[in-house]
Amino acid sequence: MSLAIFDLDNTLLGGDSDYLWGRFLVENELVDGAFYERENLRFLHEYEAGTLNILEFLAFSLKPLAAMEPERLAALHRQFMAEKIQPIILPKARALIDKHRRGDDTLLIVTATNSFVTRPIADALGIEHLIATEPERIDGRYTGRVQGTPSFREGKVTRLEAWLEAHGENLAGSWFYSDSHNDLPLLEMVEHPVAVDPDDTLRDHAQARGWPIISLRDNAG
């Protein structure tokens, strides 16, 4: 039994759940639309370029959570799942997850997106173990601040190492599937790194290292 690790956004999903949550807030007039849309897109482009300041982004993206009651957030997330996430869960991603499940591998999602957004998505994919950026909560309410180390770039390595120790697991025979060059620190750690519909930087790196390159998109050849 090995560890099968999956990135989430643009790997198992045909889109970015963090960005889509921001769009959902704008569309439902829950934030200042023009400002939020502009900043949300800026942060997405910075992530893609590898220049994202994760703490600046989290100050932006976690602020709306602090403005609403938990019950309201839960109802909004159910709507978000139905409208934005269920349509972009890739059938080939489900098949890949099922392949590892049949092999009795331990399934784990490691994502920079916060756990409020991603825990229900992991549940929908049938994956119990999740490492995500953790929004701080006090007395059941989100504060708008981050708790601990964000699981972004090298932070994914830090968080995974802590998870391995806590669960008595190791990386012998491990797999990691990702689309993004931001995940190179973790891809370099596992025995079986796999580039999934990769960005140009990751594709070049994967080709140079001889890593498998696969597609989970329905229109892929």
CA distance 107 to 199: 24
Which residues are part of the catalytic machinery? 7, 9
Does the residue 221 lie in any domain?
A: no
Does the residue 28 lie in any domain?
A: yes
Q: What rounded mean pLDDT belongs to the chain? A: 96
Q: What's the total number of domains in the chain? A: 1
Identify the CATH number of the domain in which residue 39 sits.
Answer: 3.40.50.1000
Does the residue 21 lie in any domain?
A: yes
- pLDDT average, residue stretch 66-79: 97
Pick the closest to residue 50 from 159, 187, 201, 188 (CA basis). Answer: 201
Does the residue 219 lie in any domain?
A: no
Looking at residue 219, its pLDDT comes to 58
Tokens in use for 12?
């198992």
Q: Is the pTM of this model over 0.85?
A: yes
Does the residue 220 lie in any domain?
A: no
Report whether pLDDT(127) > 70: yes
- pLDDT average, residue stretch 68-94: 98
Report whether pLDDT(220) > 80: no
Does the residue 198 lie in any domain?
A: yes
Domain housing 208: 3-214
- pLDDT average, residue stretch 128-134: 98
Does the residue 36 lie in any domain?
A: yes
The contacts of residue 141 (CB under 8 Å, 6+ apart) are: 66, 69, 70
Does the residue 176 lie in any domain?
A: yes
